[in-house]
Each structure stands twice: as C-alpha cells, then as structure tokens.
Amino acid sequence: MFPELEEISYKVRELVLKMTTHAGSGHPGGSLSATDLLVALYFKKMNIPHLSSPERDRFILSKGHACPALYAVLALKEFFPEKELFTLRKLNSRLQGHPELITPGVEAPTGAEGHGLSIGNGIALAGKLDKLNYRVYVLLGDGELDEGQIWEAALTASHYKLDNLVAIVDRNSFQLDGATKDIKYLGDVGEKFKAFGWDVIEIDGHNFEQILDALDEAEEAKEMPTAIIAHTIKGKGVSFMENNDEFHGKVLTEEQLKKALEELEKQRRKIKEAK
Amino acid sequence: MEAATRDAYGEALVEIGEDERIVVLDADLSSSTRTKKFAGKFPERFFNIGISEADMVDIAAGLSLAGKIPFVSSFAVFLVDKGYDQLRNTIARGNMDVKVVVSHAGFSVGEDGASHQTFEDVALMRVLPNFRVIVPADYFEAKAAIKKIAFEKGPFYVRLSRPKTQTVYESEPKFEIGRADVLREGKDVAIFACGLMVGRALRAAEKLEEKGIDAEVVNVPTIKPLDEKTILKSAKKCGKVVTVEEASVIGGLGGAVSEFLSSAYPVPIKRMGINDIFGTSANWKEVLKWAGLGEENIVKIISTFVIS
Ligand SMILES: Cc1ncc(C[n+]2csc(CCOP(=O)(O)OP(=O)(O)O)c2C)c(N)n1
C-alpha cells in the first residue's frame, strides 16, 4: 500500500478537474487515467536532482493532451507555483494547451500524437553516448498507437538496444471518437511490442505496487527497451467520468465539478482513515 | 572546378565532426547524401535510422534536447515531406538546435522522375517559424555554410544538390547567415538567384551583355532571413527584378523577394523556377531545359522582360 502516493493522486485529480473547468477546455478523461502513473514516476521513481542536471531522469508526455495531469504533478513537485495552474490555456501563460518547453519540467513539446517515443529514442541514444545513467520514460496513449511513427520508433529502440528507455502505454481502451476496438482494433498491444523486440510487462495502471514493481523490473532489462502496458480507466476516480468517452475533450460544468470533488474527497478520507 | 554541393557537406561534416557534440543521422541514403563519410570517421556518432524519416527527425530533436548538435539528412523530398510534422511540431516549435541538411533537391535526381524531385521544400521550410533556410550556390559556399551553421544555435534547413557544376567561387567564401552577395554589378535588371541557378544566372548575364543589357547578379543563399538591404539596393538601382531558382515559383526565393519588394519598393518582377508542376524523367540538364530553366531560355525571358 502506498497511502502517500494515493493521497497525491487525489490531489492531482482534484487539480486536473479544477484547472480544466477553470480554463473552460482541455482533456480531463485521459489526464485522470494517467494520473497514478505520473505520480508513481515523479514522487517515487524518477531521480531529478534539478531540472537542468544532465543526469536527471526524463519523462515525455507523448499523449500531450493529458498535460493537465503533468502540470499538476510538476506544480506539486514545486517546479512552479501551484496557483499558476489556474492560468492554464490563458494568454501569456506558461501552461499551454499542449506541452511546450517554456514550462519548467516539460522535457519535450508534444500535442500532435505520435512523436514522443522517437524523441525519447534521441534522448536515450544521447544517454548512451555520454555514458550517463539516466532513464527515459515515455507515456503513450493507446489511441496514439494508431500512428505509424510509434512503430518506426519501436523498431529503432530495439535496434539500438535502448535499455534506458521505457514506454508506458496508458491502455484505457478509449480514444477521441470512441473505444479503441471500434475505431481501430489494436489487438494484443503487449504481443505487438514483443514482436518489435521489446520486453513487455502488463500491469494495473492504478495499482502503485504494480506500477513501481514494473518500473523496477524495467531496470533489469538488458539490451532491450521495456514497454509497460498499464491497464487503466479513462476518467478514473470520478464515477460518472469512468469509461465515458464524453469527457475525453470536454471539461466538467461547475455543477459536475462540485459532485466530482465530493467523490474525490470521500475517497481521500477513506485513505486517511485507513492510515 | 566542377563539384557537387553534397560532396562539400560530406567533407565539412568530417571537419566539424572533431567536436564531440556533432552527431549525424540518415535514413538509409547515407551514400547518396555523403553522410557516410562522417559515419566512416566517427561511427559511434552516426545513426542510420532506416527508412523512417519521421522517427529520424524526432530522434534528432531528442539528441538536441540532451545537448548534442544533430545533423539530419536524406533526400529533400523524403525528409521534408515525410518529416514535416516533426520539423514543425517538434524542431521548429521547440526552436531546437537541429541542422536539417538535404541533398538531391530540385531536379537533382532527374531520371528518377517526379517522386524524387522537390520544388515545394523551400516554401514549406520558409513558413516554419525559427527555421533559417539556406541554398548554397556551389561546392565552396556549401562547405562554408555547413561549417558556419554547425555552431550557430537553432534550427537550419540547408538545401543541397547532386549534380557536379562549375563552381561560382574559387575558394570558400566568408559565409554570413542572411547576407546576399552581389557577384556582378549592372544597372538594367537585378537577377536574384540561389543554388545551382546562380552559375546559370552569371552566364546569362554575359549573354545579355552581348545584347546590350547590363544585368546585376546577386547570389541569395539565405532565403530566410532575407538580406533586405542588398535586395532593396539592387532593385532600386535596376528598377526591374528577376528571380531564378530550382524550386517552385510559389513561396521560394521568388516568393520571398516579391513579398518584400511589394511593400518596400514595388518594381516589375519576373519569377523563374518550376511553374507549379511536377517534374518528369530526364537527366538534370535536359529536365531543367524542359522546365524553362535552360540557359538560352533564361537569356530569352530576361531580355524580353527588360525590353518590354
Ligand atoms: C496527430 C494527431 N491527430 C489527432 C489529434 C487529436 N486527438 C487528440 S487526443 C486524441 C485521441 C487520443 O487517444 P489516446 O492516445 O488513447 O489518449 P487517451 O484516450 O488516453 O486520452 C486525438 C485523436 C492529435 N492530438 N494529434
């Protein structure tokens, strides 16, 4: 059990919903499915002495539309003030609608699906060249796997034996227009990565023990990259958002927000009591 | 001397490659782009990504984010057209230190036909914020340009060619980004040219002189940022302007010069280049002629334009 991490996740979910409703637009559903993965990485796994240290671990949000979750995590890491989250998507904000390098802690500009794994390949190759021990984590959407570039990048990573690279697939089984099985059937994602020469670990992407074990296990892989297929729930944490593709790119109304925050608060209290 | 700009690239890479930050990427065309020369000398810093241009461009971005100075190469048509989203959304948006150097631009691979010939690339790269666009006139200028941009922060697009052509310069000129070079002074018409068309423009000027037309010839290797001062001066002096390039008449050098002069100093302008068509198979010289960029035709078009 990781009550501290769960506590942070609830805080992140709360911030995601508040800031997107405040902004009036954004992508809450895919932000919530990715939240626990981000929290495990930033609050337990990744080593970031400071934002410009060459040996820091890197995280790339390839599914850039989930940036509200990333921004919330970066703010809770105190890379910038929490109140700045409420400038999201507003004129002159450092928090753009999709990730830009101007945000402290953002490692790559993303937003068009399909780019992050290749960028991760480049950073991982540089790590090998410089004999630095940092690790590179790339979060992919499952809908994003429709992009051909992902599979170009998957071949490159195994060809260059990038064992310092980890792709995490946020396997929430939804994309923009609906379920991935209806839009473009993906089949067995893990088997596909295996066929491309990757080590593959399947986990429940909302179970911290499994997430952290998988991230540790990925370090054991030698001369091959690791793909963690994280089975998640789009909209995780709010009953009426879960597995509801309506909230892919639509934010909560004030009324819905109130209800959602109450739900999150209830769950948070439960964790506290258990502690 | 006759030489190809792509050969200058291969040689320049080996020179600047002594700097350990330089890394080179290619997409299975390293023998054609001449990056193979670098690969031979610095194999650990050369990455053949296979026929995956989109992946390659974003990998270069990642390398630059980790402090490297990546050069990424392929044929112009494959790198720009298949890597455009990556050039735009990653490299340009992130204002990254990536040098995009393409070979076989324009009609270079004449016999290969329309699939391999590129005329849209100059326009496409010119509209991307942060990118600077360079089209060297010959082997010597290409060498100087590559060495210069390597250590100049930010993204560059350098357009090189396959054919061996008579050099315009006798040795490496001092290359300055954003600087045009008046190669021949004249007063009747200002010819602005770039790439391999500079040599043709100079020879056209000699023929025009026989016809009593005094042409100024300006080499404009940097399409962006444009050397507005030099262009304005020549346009004012001559009152008539011709642009010549091995690229589309839409959006390239001709487009850039027209956009600038239309507000700064409107003069009649004749844009010579590829007239919004795809190419066809034939050797470089023949296909240039087919497209209206044969040397006699350049002379004919310019003299008609000046007399009219
Ligand atoms: C290249 C590209 N095409 C289309 C879009 C529009 N778009 C934004 S999110 C999305 C669906 C993403 O699905 P997935 O990757 O599974 O993300 P998740 O469901 O986890 O939010 C689409 C199509 C985009 N951002 N980029």
Residues in A closer than 8 angstroms to B85, CB to CB, are 112, 114-115
CATH architecture of A3-274: 3-Layer(aba) Sandwich (3.40)
Is B53 an active-site residue? yes
Q: Using CA coordinates, name the residue in chain B closest to A55.
A: B66
pLDDT in tens, chain B (308 residues): 999 999 999 999 999 999 999 999 999 999 999 999 999 999 999 999 999 999 999 999 999 999 999 999 999 999 999 999 999 999 999 999 999 999 999 999 888 899 999 999 999 999 999 999 999 999 999 999 999 999 999 999 999 999 999 999 999 999 999 999 999 999 999 999 999 999 999 999 999 999 999 999 999 999 999 999 999 999 999 999 999 999 999 999 999 999 999 999 999 999 999 999 999 999 999 999 999 999 999 999 999 999 98
ipTM of the complex as predicted:
0.94
Phi, psi of A154 (to 5 degrees): -65, -40
Domain boundaries defined on chain A = 3-274
Cβ-defined contact of B66 to A122 (cutoff 8 Å): yes
| B90 close to A (CB below 8 A) | yes
Domains, chain B, ranges and CATH?
2-166 (3.40.50.970), 181-307 (3.40.50.920)
Residue B50 sits at the chain A interface (C-beta within 8 Å): yes
Instruction: Please give the model's pTM, rounded to 2 decimal places.
Output: 0.96
Nearest atom in ligand 1 to the alpha carbon of residue A248 is: 21
B46: distance to nearest CA of chain A, Å?
Answer: 11
Q: Which of B47, B57, B67 is nearest residue A125 as measured by Cβ atoms? A: B47
**Chain A residues with beta carbon closer than 8 angstroms to that of B70:** 122
Half-sphere exposure of residue A227: CA atoms within 13 angstroms, side-chain side: 30
